[in-house]
Every structure is written in structure tokens, then in C-alpha cells.
Chain A
Amino acid sequence: MRSILNKLLTAMRGGVNELGEAVVDGQGNRILEQELRDSEQELKQAKQELAALMAESASLARQIRSEQDNASKREQDARKAIAAGQEDLAREVAERIVGHERRAVELTQTRELLQQRIAGLKERVQRAEKQLADYRRELQVVKTNERVLRTTAQIDTNINSQKSSLNTAKETLERIRERQAREEDRQTASATLEKELTGADLDEKLKAAGIDGEQDAIDNVLARLKDSPAQ
């Protein structure tokens, strides 16, 4: 990832990206995409192999259990034969038991080797998955960069040809200020209208002229109280 980012930065500083020219050329892109496909293929193969090995290991586990079961079953047979005084028969059964036990040991050894291979393969799968995620991230950076360059080039071409022209920041700021002033005027106007509708503006005018309805009412009450003093 770092090498891709450095490549992008070098190209950008060199002004290679003007007019939306691809920074990492199509060739570089194709190489990345090929690496991605190779990684995906390797991962797929490793997963298939892993699944097969795990199935084999499960089958071996079943066989081992079966040999062990048979051995313990034959042990009971052998005990019964000894109890019945059938020494020869007991020996024959004992031979069978040895056979089962040997096979169980052999199978267990095989399975242990298999388990080691499975562990190794799982590690390989994890590595491949990480690698794949890395490649995808790199490709995304490269592709996004190209898209941004092509998009901005397209916007610039369009706006320039429309002659509404890409405004300078100063012109834009001027227009923003004009709109904000208009909005402020509108707010002031609607506040004025609101006052007119509620009569608040008239109250304000009366107050300014020294005519205050509230104050008059209080004075009236006071005068009345003074006219009828407490007995």
C-alpha cells in the first residue's frame, strides 16, 4: 500500500494528473488486477484442499473409533472364552484384538500428520485472505484516484464550456453575502409584519410617545385607592 501511495504522490506533485490523466497507468492497474485474480485463485485452491483434508481427517477419526470399539468388544469375548476354559479360542480372539489395536495406532499416526498439514494450510488460507484484502484496498485507492481526476476534469470542462464558468472564490463569496443579506431583509420584514399583525408595533409607538396603557391602569388603581382611604 505504501508504494502505491508514494507513486500517487510523486505523480501528483509532478502535475501528471492534470486534465485527469491517469496517475498509475492502465498497465499498472492491470498488473494489480492480475495479482488480485491470482490471489483469489490461490485462496480458492487452498480452501478446496483444506476442505478435502478435513473430510479425510474426519473419516480417519471414525475409523479409529471403530477399531477401538471392536477391540473392546473382542476383549469381552476373550474374557468369556477364558471363563469357559476355551484357551485356544481366547488366543484367537486376542490376535484379533492386537490387529485392531495396531490399526488404531497406525490410523492415529496418519491422522496426526494430516492434522499438521491442515494447520499449515489454514495458515496459508489466512495469509492469502490478508493479501487479497491488501490488494483490494490498493486497487480501490488507485481506482478512486482515477475516478476523482476524471470526474473533476469532466466538471471543469463542462462548467468552462457553459460560460457560467467556474466562479472564483471571491465571486462566490459575494453571491453568498448577497443572499445572506436578502435573507436578513426578509427576516426583518417578516418580524415587522408580525408586529403589525399583533399590534405590538402600535404599543411600541404609544410607549415611545409616553402613552403606556399598563402604567395608566396602575395609576388609576392607585388614584382610586387614595380616594377611599382605609377607615
Chain B
Amino acid sequence: MDIQTLTLALGDSTHAGRRFDVMPIAGDEPVLQVTVSGAEETPVYLTVTDSQILCLAYLFDEQELNPVHLNELHENMLRLSVPMPLSSLGKTGDHYVVYGALSPTSGAAEIMQELVTLAENAIDLLQTFEDYLA
């Protein structure tokens, strides 16, 4: 599944009652910004490599957090990461992210499922961890 095929597939499809708004992010890497209807606040970014399709949504940045409770937040994030469906929690640079990786052989339905789940999980996680914001 390459970025072009995926852009076309997502633009025309609905999955579990959701529509997808796809926008390519300009730059050297093939990156898509996908907005899932009903979860527009947390866009999912998608990139395709040789070994995986990586989808990720931003939660918050390090400087937005209350440093006093950082350890507690990390502990909770680690614990929630395991039961979260199709998503894991992580950090890249200063960004805390929720992400999911799929096999490059995944079909459009699997990718759409991932996108919907990830966008909804991002909202749930933001609301869950709201108290840790500075």
C-alpha cells in the first residue's frame, strides 16, 4: 500500500460511519495528515516505510506538562499503553504521541480501522491525562 493509493482509497471511503479528510504534508518524506470525522481535533499522521505503515497522533509536548507529576504520568502512560486497542504510547522529540504500526501489506480496511481507533484513542487519552497539564 503506497501513499498515492491510500490517498485515493481514503478520500472515497467510509469506515464505521467515519469519513476521512486527507492532506499530504509537503516535504521529502511521504506523509499524510488524515482527519477522521467525529474526531477532527486529533489528526493522524501516516507515513509508509519499507517495513511498516506508521500512524501517529500528537498528544502533548513536554513543556505543556506539570513537571511535578511527570513520573506519575509516565507510569500511567506505560500502564495504559498495553490495553489500548491498536495503539501504543511513545515519545519522539518533545512530543508525546499515540501511535500504531501496521504491516506494509495491510489493506485499506485495516488502515482505516487503525486511523479511526487512533484518533479516538488520542481524544480519550487527552481527556484522561488532562490533569497532568501545567
Interface residues, chain A, with chain B CB atoms under 8 Å away: 17-18, 140, 143-144, 147-155, 157-158, 166-170, 172-173, 175-176, 179
What are the residues of chain A within 8 A of B56 when measuring CB–CB? Answer: 148, 152
In the assembled complex, B6 has its CB within 8 A of some CB on chain A: no
Contact A175 B25, beta carbon cutoff 8 Å: no
In the assembled complex, B51 has its CB within 8 A of some CB on chain A: yes
What are the residues of chain A within 8 A of B28 when measuring CB–CB? Answer: 150, 154
Q: Give the docked Cα–Cα distance between A92 and B110 (Å).
A: 80
Interface residues, chain B, with chain A CB atoms under 8 Å away: 25-29, 31, 33, 40-42, 45, 47, 49-52, 54, 56, 58-61, 64, 92-93, 95, 123, 126-127, 130, 133
Contact B41 A172, beta carbon cutoff 8 Å: yes
What are the residues of chain A within 8 A of B60 when measuring CB–CB? Answer: 168-169
Expressed in whole angstroms, the minimum distance between the Cβ of A185 and any Cβ of chain B is 15
Contact residue among B25, B51, B58, B61 (Cβ-Cβ distance under 8 Å from A140): B51
**Chain A residues touching B, majority SS:** helix
Number of A-B contacts (CB under 8 A): 74
Contact residue among A154, A167, A169, A179 (Cβ-Cβ distance under 8 Å from B25): A154
What are the residues of chain B within 8 A of A148 when measuring CB–CB? Answer: 54, 56, 92
Question: 13 pairs across A/B with beta carbons < 8 Å?
Answer: A143-B51, A147-B29, A150-B29, A151-B47, A151-B54, A154-B31, A167-B41, A169-B59, A170-B133, A173-B126, A176-B41, A176-B42, A176-B126
Contact B126 A151, beta carbon cutoff 8 Å: no
Contact B126 A172, beta carbon cutoff 8 Å: yes
What are the residues of chain B within 8 A of A143 when measuring CB–CB? Answer: 49-51
What are the residues of chain B within 8 A of A140 when measuring CB–CB? Answer: 51
